[in-house]
Amino acid sequence: MAEKFILEFAKLIAEYPDEIEVKRVDVDDTFSQIEVLANKSDTGKLIGRNGKMISSLKTIITGCKAKENRSYRVTINSHE
* Length of the chain in terms of residues written: 80
Instruction: Count up the domains in the chain and report the number.
Output: 1
Mean pLDDT by 10 residues, the chain (80 residues): 88 92 91 92 90 87 80 87
pLDDT value at residue 66: 75
What span, in angstroms and rounded, lies between the C-alpha atoms of 23 and 10?
13
**Can you give the residue range of the structural domain that contains 24?**
2-78
CATH number of residue 34's parent domain = 3.30.300.20
Predicted pLDDT at 21: 93
CA distance 29 to 43: 29
